[in-house]
Amino acid sequence: MPREGIDYSQFYEILPLDGSGDVVVAYRGDGAATITGGGGRWDTVQRPKRQSVTLWRGGDPYTMDIPILFDGWMLGDSVEAAIARVNQIRFSPGALKEPPHLRINGALPVKGATWVLAEITWGNQVIWDTSGQKMFRLRQDATLHVLQYVSEQAFKGVKEFKVNDKVVTVKDGQGIEHHSGGDTKTKKSIQKKNSIRDPKTVKNKKGQKLIVTQRAKNLDTILRGIAGRSTGEIINKIS
């Protein structure tokens, strides 16, 4: 939630969501925040002697560039602490831990998203205070390159489901094992649908008609089947 007392037409508020409370507030830099990538992914797949098809690949997280300015020059204040905080956001806080996720408030083209800081480009609008023994910056510009964070979701695989049965003709040596693809449930289904007491007798009955229950293959089998094939080959196969 944006906080009271901050003029978001002039400032960005960078809020790590790791509970550290290390909020960074910076001026808007030279230029507006811009979306540099993300959104829908579409491909045009050519099909021989037919119109190409438009294939939706999915959606990518947004990427965005945010120009910012750390400026303490008018008051003579160092901006080194703010620079150090925003620089530290890029890194993991410890072994096996992700860098913090961010909420960024201000004049942005995407509202309410969660971000991670991928990279920082430091600019050349720099003013140093050299009056004392320790040098420090009074002004520093930068561009934050952020990536929308999308949480990882466990993929539980593809459930099998029934589709229309089909009738097949038994050939020499082709038993229920062949027509079931080795799937135990499918074997039992074929045996039941065709009132077969002894499945071993099927392979000896050339020409016999069998009602076969087809099932979707599991994910590993599907992936092995399409490995090495181009998108165009897959589209042509199923269209």
pLDDT score at 161: 43
Question: How many CB atoms lie under 10 A from the CB of residue 187?
Answer: 19
Question: Whole-model pTM?
Answer: 0.63
Considering the domain architecture, whether residues 144 and 27 belong to the same structural domain is answered as: yes
Considering the domain architecture, whether residues 141 and 212 belong to the same structural domain is answered as: no
Considering the domain architecture, whether residues 135 and 176 belong to the same structural domain is answered as: no
Q: Is 18 exposed, middle or buried, given 0-12, 13-18 or 19+ CB atoms closer than 10 A?
A: middle
Question: How many CB atoms lie under 10 A from the CB of residue 110?
Answer: 14
* Full pLDDT tens readout for the chain, 239 residues: 456 678 989 999 999 998 776 899 999 999 999 999 998 989 888 888 889 989 888 899 999 999 999 999 999 999 999 999 999 999 998 898 899 999 999 999 998 999 999 999 999 999 999 888 889 999 999 999 999 999 876 445 444 444 456 777 878 777 777 777 777 887 888 888 777 878 777 666 777 777 776 654 454 555 555 555 555 555 555 54
Considering the domain architecture, whether residues 18 and 129 belong to the same structural domain is answered as: yes
pLDDT score at 62: 96
Considering the domain architecture, whether residues 19 and 103 belong to the same structural domain is answered as: yes
What is the CATH classification number for the domain harbouring 86? 2.40.30
User: What's the helix, strand, coil split of the chain in %, to 5?
Assistant: 20, 35, 45
Question: How many CB atoms lie under 10 A from the CB of residue 20?
Answer: 13
pLDDT score at 101: 95
pLDDT score at 225: 54
Q: CA torsion angle for 36, 42, 46, 49 (degrees, to 10)?
A: -130
* 31 assigned to some structural domain: yes
Q: Which two tokens stand for residue 91?
A: 């890194």
Q: Are 23 and 14 in contact (CB under 8 A)?
A: yes
* 157 assigned to some structural domain: no
Domain extent for 90: 11-148
pLDDT score at 1: 47
Considering the domain architecture, whether residues 49 and 103 belong to the same structural domain is answered as: yes
Q: Tell me how many domains the chain contains.
A: 2
Q: Where are the beta strands (DSSP E) in 106-169?
A: 115-122, 127-129, 136-148, 166-169
pLDDT score at 233: 57
Q: Residue 185 region, left (φ>0) first, then alpha (ψ -120 to 50), else beta? A: alpha
Considering the domain architecture, whether residues 58 and 142 belong to the same structural domain is answered as: yes
